[in-house]
Amino acid sequence: MRRRKILSLILIAGIVVSLYLLHKEPGVMAETTDYDAQIKKVEETKKEAQERVDELKKDIDSLEKEKEDILNYVKKVDEKIEDVSNTMKKLDGQIKDARKEIVTQIVMINNLTDENEALSVENSTLSNKVAVLSETVSKKAATEDAISQETAENALPKGFPLSGSAAMEEAGGEELMLIFSASPGVNVITSGTGTVVSVDADEEYGTKVIIDHGNGYQSVYRNNGTALVKNGEELGKGYILFSIEEENQKLGYQVLKDDVLIDPMQVIEING
């Protein structure tokens, strides 16, 4: 509607201008008596005005189209701006969340770093303790090995079966036995650690004591004195079995290996 009003106004303005020009030239009007010529000129002027109006109409149409295109473009730009704005809002939210996560991660890293340092100190302390314990265990193992070796060594019936010097002879024949003659005051002692497994009477010597050394060896002590031990006793090396007096100066000494008599000289150690 507005567009039509503008076109009408332009047309009227063109006609008014044409009439004004005609009235402004009286000489021409006086000379021209032909009414048809005037009409024709008016028509031509009107036609020119119409052509001008048509051109203006085209220009207006073109401007209206450009305006519409511009408005559409502006609308698209506004939509793009809104999309960008929404995207920026989302990005802002994501950035905030990321910052919070980074702060949380930093706090966690700091906590883990502190915990790691504490664990390193504790690990160093424990390593020192382990080193000390290892050394202690090694020393204990060495001591136990030495004790075990010494215990095993002491369990062998290698010791001299008397606490003092004595004359010694072999029994002779097939009997594997050493016969010792000792002076009063000397004691018959165990040749190695072990357990008393027998305290019995002996037809020839009076009393017989058998010691089991726990390693396949047994030692036998024959004497006419009174046995100072009893069955089941656990004895150390050098423990007194008999006291030598005038009436029991002889000792018959034997060694068994796996219940078989062997020559005592194979194991006995005689010093001096």
Between 112 and 272, the more confident residue is 112
The pLDDT of residue 31 is 47
DSSP per-residue string spanning 26-54: HHHHHH---HHHHHHHHHHHHHHHHHHHH
**DSSP 3-state of 198:** strand
pLDDT tens column, 241-251: 999 999 999 99
Spatial CB neighbours of 211, under 8 Å, sequence gap ≥ 6: 157, 190, 191, 192, 194, 195, 196, 197, 218, 219, 220, 221, 235
Most confident of 9-18, 62-71, 199-208: 199-208
Q: Which residue has the tokens 């008999």?
A: 242
Domain range 166-266, CATH class: mainly beta
Rounded to whole angstroms, the Cα distance separating 159 from 243 reads 17
The pLDDT score that the predictor gives to residue 241 is 97
| Closest of 184, 182, 176, 249 to residue 219, by C-alpha | 176
Domain spans of the chain? 1-116, 166-266
Write the pLDDT tens digit of every residue in 193-233: 999 999 999 999 999 999 999 999 999 999 999 999 999 99
240's torsion region: left (phi>0), alpha (psi -120 to 50) or beta?
beta
37's CB contacts (< 8 A; 6+ apart) are: none
Tens of pLDDT, residue by residue over 140-192, are 777 777 777 777 888 899 999 999 999 999 987 778 999 999 999 999 999 99
CA gap 162, 168 in Å, rounded: 11
C-alpha to C-alpha distance for 255 and 218, rounded to whole angstroms: 6
Rg of the chain taking only CA atoms, in angstroms:
69
pLDDT of residue 258: 95
Q: What does the alpha-carbon distance between residue 91 and residue 98 come to, in Å, rounded to a whole number?
A: 10
Nearest to 195 by CA among 208, 207, 209: 209
Helix (H) / strand (E) containing 11: helix 2-24
pLDDT of residue 188: 97
Element (H, E) at 113: helix 35-155
> Which pLDDT band, with edges at 50, 70 and 90, does 78 fall under?
confident
Residue type, 168: M
* pLDDT, tens only, 18-34: 555 555 544 444 444 57
